[in-house]
Amino acid sequence: MPPKTEFVKFLGKGSYGSVDLVKYIKRNRSSPLYAAVKTAQCEDYDSLQREIQILSKLKGCRSIVQCYENYKLEEDFDGNGFRVYKMVMEYAAAGSLTTFMDSYKDRKLPETMIRDFTRMILQGLVSVHSRGYVHCDLKPDNLLVFPRRQSYELKISDFGSSTKVGEDADSWEIDSPFVGSPVYMSPESVQNGVAEKALDLWSLGCIVLEMFTGEIPWSEVNFDDLAPLLLDGKAPKIPESVVPCDARKFLETCFARNPEERESASDLLLHPFLCGGKKTEKIVSGFSLPPLRLKIKRPPMKSTDISMKPLKLKIIPPKPPQFKKVEIKPLKLKIIPPKPPASSFVHVQ
């Protein structure tokens, strides 16, 4: 018997369809389940079905929003009797990164939190890119914040614009030359609309910059002037007074004019901004794994520094002398009679 559902509140709109918070009440009276339900009309069925298929390939991947109902769409009817389709996802109680930042003074997040969130986004991108997809619309509205005891977990959501690597994005048009949300788009995406992995890394740079400054990238630029600036190779300004040195270098890599110079999501996880200048193991794919732990490899010590653990002296006693065991037989006394004395007489017949 299916659980009883109860509408709680409206959460927002995605690339298509609306998202609501719904409470699922099980018949066995166990704790209710709160889920974010994305609802689409019949004309958007193909788009929603495509999104849930992409999410099914990312099932169990860290930093990616997960779905319920075994990654299948629910069929239902709206209040007017029209058929609708629903995708049931895990609910982020802290909302999107946009609303989360709004709760901070000047929308600026603490530096340690920025590092953690950046690392989580990159972990998600490793999963997406290793499966041959580009998200194409990475922005704070599509990043969900999940409270985890005394910390937070960030996950990538809304794969409605996602495209296979190397393919033309459906949202790109001549009169609106942006693959996703304009202020987070890269120069090459504006130029030809081809989805490449480096596009997501430019968008990541815009998000990291926004977490430091509290301001949306290109906030000082008119919308009509944005595309020419991007085509001219310009990047958002990085204020030195707000962004620390290692973070600036990270952003300069994300904003590299040549997409190949932005490296990869796996490479950026090794950047000093995220690991404090210490080398770590490279992540090559985004499988379902326990929380990522950076493993530091230290070079062998070449100096004569002996400030290590105190030496322990182990005394080994000498072995007792070993003698060959010889079996002693009882002695036998042999008596040899004396020879008779030689005679000087000659016997004569």
DSSP 3-state of 116: helix
Query: 137, 64, 126: which is closest to 265 by C-alpha?
Result: 126
Which residues, in sequence order, are CB contacts of 314 under 8 Å at separation 6+? none
Q: How far is it, in rounded angstroms, from Cα 274 to Cα 120?
A: 11
For 315, half-sphere exposure in the C-beta direction (CA atoms, 13 angstrom radius) is 1
Q: How far is it, in rounded angstroms, from Cα 239 to Cα 106?
A: 15
Assess whether 137 carries a catalytic annotation: yes
Question: Residue 170 burial (CB < 10 Å; 0-12/13-18/19+)?
Answer: middle
Which residues, in sequence order, are CB contacts of 62 under 8 Å at separation 6+? 120, 123, 124, 127, 286, 288, 289, 291, 292
Q: How far is it, in rounded angstroms, from Cα 184 to Cα 135?
A: 12
* Residue 288 DSSP one-character state: S
Cβ atoms of 25 and 32 closer than 8 Å: yes
Question: Which of 137, 141, 158, 200 is labelled catalytic?
Answer: 137
Name the residues annotated as catalytic: 137
